[in-house]
Structure 1
Amino acid sequence: MNSTDQSRIIYPEQLSLQSVHIVRIVSISTTSFNRFVLNVMGPIPDSSCHVIQETGIPAYWPLCTAAKAFTTTILQPGGDLAYTTQQWKRALETIRADDGPSIPNTSMRLCNHGELTDQGRRQMVSLGKQLRQLYVDQLKLLPPLLTDARTVSFRSSPYLRALDSLQHVVWGLFPPSARSASFGLPLIVMRSPEDETLLPNEDFCKRFIEMSKAYARRTADQWNESSEMTYLNSLLRKYMPSQKLPDEFYSSKVADIIDKIAYEEEFGAYHESREMRRVGIGALLGDVTERLVAHANHSATTGDTNQKLFLAGSHDSTLGAIMASLGVVDVEAKRKWPPYASALAIELFSDPEGEDMNPLDSTSTPRASYSQLSAEQKTRLKRYYVRMCYNGQALVVPGCRRPGHNWNGNASFCSLATFKQVVDDFTPRNWKQTCKENLGEASFPRVAEPAGYW
């Protein structure tokens, strides 16, 4: 079990699991655009799709059986809002060398770019079943039959592969037989692209775009003349762009070097720059922390709260940014790009022996920073603990290692008070405004600002 292997994760009997936020990336999908493409030629056997001349890589892959059975909701004419569904199948039209259309005539299984494959769909249903086994069957966090729609919350980024991936997880986690009539259809929340913070917004956050380009340039300058790049060139340059990908492309050493360089370009900034954390992922982690605090406050006064599960369909850039920004990735160890179908669970626990049941001081706003909370609210948060689990491994936020900031010396159970202070340090008060600030200024901090502290 990859994404939800909890065999190494212990759930202490002394702590009560209250809620869980699961951020996961899309499963196996096709590339978002053609790789190694300079020219295309031909239809090739079996797939009737074009092949990249220089490498032999098909431009479109016959891995999407779902293309034979898509469904669209149709609103019938009239004023009674009558809906029906229409099934349809899809063929991908390509362009010949002379710009004329070339329609595949032997396959209805071709994947469009950035589309979830058959294997990816199966993998996501399996992930949902694994989550059900853990949080429903084993830990009893959720009931076997959902009756209250407020119990769960689902959110997806605007990308179709993320939405498809999330729906398959939901199907495995809560199949129709596990939803009562009162629960209704699963509700999936989405945002417009300019408001999206479920992944670092590289289309509308100008300061993030500016900083990302600066770090990409720095990474290129750092690695272009390195011994590692010399090694890659000595093995791979002779094959580019004239032949199919040879065995050298799949060497573990080659993969490790590419992984290291790609990680540094995409996520290195979060390790050293508070501003990058703020414009890239701070808004999302601010949302998560707001819900954790609200749950703790609500539970402390009523003994219960509605929402138990928040499930987000996101991307590798989301998981990598979260973990780098919280400092849970060992800088000295191998830093790996998040693999397909990875899942990050942020679990909230309470210590029943220490829960404060005094009336709630509700003077603060939902997005209030830790310093704005009352003394009573701060005390209550210390009775709650946050643990992060990534693909079956518990993670440790550096600031949570200090005595008094975790549960019984176990640094993986970070006090909610400490976790909130770490996140507050890079949570923007107005994300859109923050994206407009410091444009044209230096992208690198004068002194490194290590992640995971406050």
Structure 2
Amino acid sequence: MTTLVPRKPYTDDELKQLYPDGLSLQFVQVLMRHGERTPVSSRFQNAGLQPFWPYCASVRQMKTAIMAHGGELGDAPFSTLEWKRRLETFGENDKPVTATGPNGQVDDVCDMGALTDTGRQSTFRLGQRLRHLYVDRLHFLPATIRSTDFLYLRSTPVPRALESMQQAFSALYPPTAREPDETGQYPAPVIMTRAPGDETLFPNDSLCRRFAELSRAFAQRAADKWNDTDDMAYLSAELGKWMPDGARVAVDSRPRLSGVMDTVNATNAHGPQTKLPKEFYDPRVKEILEKVGVDEWFSGYKENREYRTLGIGGLMGDVVGRMMESVEHQDDGKEAVKFGLSGCHDTTLAGVLASLGAFETNAWPPFTSHIAIELFREEPRGTAGRGSWWGGLFSRASTPSIGRKPMTVLSAAEKAKLDGYYVRMRYNDEPVTIPGCRMRGNHLEGDETFCTLTAFKTIVDKYTPQNWKAECRMNLNTPTNPKAEPEPAGY
């Protein structure tokens, strides 16, 4: 529930089975949850938990780009301002005071929801594991690089997601694996971000009003389902004395059950200075928190097409679109992006898997979990005349690619481009199977985890929005009806 314990590296035999002869790896997209963090808000101070935690040494080494002197705009050279950050909070009678850690620390103090030193270490180690697999073992990525044009780096605007992705990248390609260009400089990697109103790398209930309505409906269904059960009574018996004003623990209590789980997760991942009483770590408490939390947050993706369309369909459309960019570049002889790395969240990973019918677990995604979405090609042909992927991507920005055209409208020639391609997903290094890919003709013979690209795209097309922002404004104030006949995911 808290910190991911990675499986051991694949053995040679496992590697041969996972990456069989006759299939050539073409493109990999990794969606990674951020590393360990502090709680997103302060809770359970009555249980002795300090609101501010001293686990963020990075705030001693902050750097900001500044203009070195007052020149003409656009011409002024930039320098770096180095500074360290301290937090200020309310004191007695609202007097401003410096926030301190459990032992009075004023430095290294984390903000709410901040990536901690532990989180930086775990995401760096994820980058090392990615390098070990894709560089050292498979030789899919180059050992040293002079440019990052073959990479697609992306993050949500949440700092812990961006910093986690940067940590992983810095281990995937450490300074010793980067070569300077002709000018002696190493080009800065391009990292793509979006404005909050355009963000689909996590379920955006803040900006998508219809998705917010659906989320509330499924949350209320979970409250109706679980609040009066023996499981919730057990949580109240164990944790109720720490709830504000003696309130019982419930899906919709204050704090909500998901908020209780958030604080338990964060404290469980860190040191003894920031621990809750032992009953919070009771194994049965853990099991119930996760089971109910998964039902509240992710059952909508499994059961309701509109839910998965608005919650995660935009991202999945992007994932397939980038695969099609790779396929089309293979055919036109231009250099294709080979590897994507995106910093995101637990709700992203579970949303992706659940929307494909592949999240059959009650376990909440641990910190630094990841999904690797791999595109393979059967009997790959050589390429010639390699060009720029970035130039190809943006030069065609005004012309919809195959990836955004549903399979139902593709021509026979366009459909033929998908022949011989397969998609395989690994969640925390374990392959997952999509239900619709089990059908005859939809997978590699002998291995249902390898879905044909045609089948994968057909499944994703069914919940890819054509205009996400417009669809977020549709059906407002109409029945959400989570008890209606389910629309199963993964087909």
Q: Same fold (TM over 0.5)?
A: yes
1:386 match: secondary structure: strand
Task: Deviation per CA, 1:189-226: give whole Å up to 9, x if none.
Answer: 10000010010102110001111111111111110001
- For residue 312 of structure 1, what is the aligned residue in structure 2? 342
Shift of the 381–354 alpha-carbon distance from structure 1 to 2, 3 Å rule, reads farther
Shift of the 4–284 alpha-carbon distance from structure 1 to 2, 3 Å rule, reads farther
Please tell me whether the aligned partners of residues 24 and 312 of structure 1 are also in contact (alpha carbons under 8 angstroms). Answer: yes
Residue of structure 2 aligned with 1:270, choices 278, 298, 301: 301
Note the residue ranges of structure 2 that are not aligned, 5 or more in a row.
Answer: 247-274, 385-398
In 2: Cα distance, 1:4 partner to 1:151 partner:
28
Residue of structure 2 aligned with 1:186, choices 186, 189, 192: 189
Cα deviation for residue 66 of structure 1 reads: 1.1
Q: Letter of the 2:61 partner, please give it.
A: A
Task: Deviation per CA, 1:205-256: give whole Å up to 9, x if none.
Answer: 0001111111111111110001111122222223435998432211111101
Q: Letter of the 1:452 partner, please give it.
A: G
Cα deviation for residue 376 of structure 1 reads: 2.8
- For residue 393 of structure 2, what is the aligned residue in structure 1? none
Residue of structure 2 aligned with 1:208, choices 207, 211, 234: 211
- For residue 416 of structure 2, what is the aligned residue in structure 1? 379
- For residue 60 of structure 1, what is the aligned residue in structure 2? 52
Please tell me whether the aligned partners of residues 125 and 168 of structure 1 are also in contact (alpha carbons under 8 angstroms). Answer: yes
In 2: Cα distance, 1:92 partner to 1:315 partner:
25
- For residue 442 of structure 1, what is the aligned residue in structure 2? 479
- For residue 289 of structure 2, what is the aligned residue in structure 1? 258
Q: Letter of the 2:220 partner, please give it.
A: R
In 2: Cα distance, 1:59 partner to 1:210 partner:
32
Please identify, of 71-80 and 432-441, the stretch whose mean Cα deviation from structure 2 is larger.
71-80
Please tell me whether the aligned partners of residues 290 and 366 of structure 1 are also in contact (alpha carbons under 8 angstroms). Answer: yes
Cα deviation for residue 126 of structure 1 reads: 1.4
Residue of structure 2 aligned with 1:236, choices 219, 236, 239: 239
Task: Deviation per CA, 1:311-343: give whole Å up to 9, x if none.
Answer: 10001110010000000122xxx4211100001
Root-mean-square deviation (CA), in Å? 2.3
Cα deviation for residue 294 of structure 1 reads: 2.2
Higher fraction of helix: 2
Matches within 5 A, 1:54-453: 54-76=46-68, 77-79=70-72, 80-103=75-98, 104=100, 106-182=105-181, 184-241=187-244, 245-302=276-333, 305-330=335-360, 334-352=361-379, 365-444=402-481, 446-453=484-491
Cα deviation for residue 4 of structure 1 reads: 7.4
- For residue 41 of structure 1, what is the aligned residue in structure 2? none
Please identify, of 321-330 and 238-247, the stretch whose mean Cα deviation from structure 2 is larger.
238-247
- For residue 49 of structure 1, what is the aligned residue in structure 2? none
2:180 match: secondary structure: coil
Q: Letter of the 2:376 partner, please give it.
A: F
Cα deviation for residue 280 of structure 1 reads: 0.3
Shift of the 366–392 alpha-carbon distance from structure 1 to 2, 3 Å rule, reads closer
Note the residue ranges of structure 1 that are not aligned, 5 or more in a row.
Answer: 37-51
In 2: Cα distance, 1:452 partner to 1:129 partner:
32
User: TM-score, normalising length from structure 1?
Assistant: 0.89
1:181 match: secondary structure: coil
Taking only the aligned residue pairs, the percentage that are identical comes to: 40
In 2: Cα distance, 1:364 partner to 1:349 partner:
20
Shift of the 381–345 alpha-carbon distance from structure 1 to 2, 3 Å rule, reads same
In 2: Cα distance, 1:134 partner to 1:341 partner:
17
- For residue 262 of structure 2, what is the aligned residue in structure 1? none
Q: Letter of the 2:90 partner, please give it.
A: I
Aligned residues: 429
Matches within 5 A, 1:42-57: 52=45, 54-57=46-49
- For residue 251 of structure 2, what is the aligned residue in structure 1? none
Q: Letter of the 2:71 partner, please give it.
A: G
Please identify, of 366-375 and 340-349, the stretch whose mean Cα deviation from structure 2 is larger.
366-375
Counterpart check, 1:11 vs 2:42: no
In 1: Cα distance, 2:289 partner to 2:105 partner:
37
Please tell me whether the aligned partners of residues 23 and 343 of structure 1 are also in contact (alpha carbons under 8 angstroms). Answer: yes
Cα deviation for residue 159 of structure 1 reads: 0.6
Q: Letter of the 2:154 partner, please give it.
A: R
In 2: Cα distance, 1:391 partner to 1:407 partner:
22
Please tell me whether the aligned partners of residues 15 and 351 of structure 1 are also in contact (alpha carbons under 8 angstroms). Answer: yes
Task: Deviation per CA, 1:260-282: give whole Å up to 9, x if none.
Answer: 11111111100100000000000
In 1: Cα distance, 2:218 partner to 2:136 partner:
45
Cα deviation for residue 2 of structure 1 reads: 4.0
Task: Deviation per CA, 1:118-156: give whole Å up to 9, x if none.
Answer: 111111111111111111111112111223432001011
- For residue 40 of structure 1, what is the aligned residue in structure 2? none
Task: Deviation per CA, 1:365-408: give whole Å up to 9, x if none.
Answer: 54111112122332331310000001011000100001111111
Q: Letter of the 1:339 partner, please give it.
A: P
Please identify, of 199-208 and 370-379, the stretch whose mean Cα deviation from structure 2 is larger.
370-379
In 2: Cα distance, 1:420 partner to 1:176 partner:
37
In 2: Cα distance, 1:429 partner to 1:242 partner:
47
Please tell me whether the aligned partners of residues 27 and 116 of structure 1 are also in contact (alpha carbons under 8 angstroms). Answer: yes
In 2: Cα distance, 1:90 partner to 1:217 partner:
40
Please identify, of 68-77 and 216-225, the stretch whose mean Cα deviation from structure 2 is larger.
68-77
Q: Letter of the 1:327 partner, please give it.
A: G
Q: Letter of the 1:296 partner, please give it.
A: V
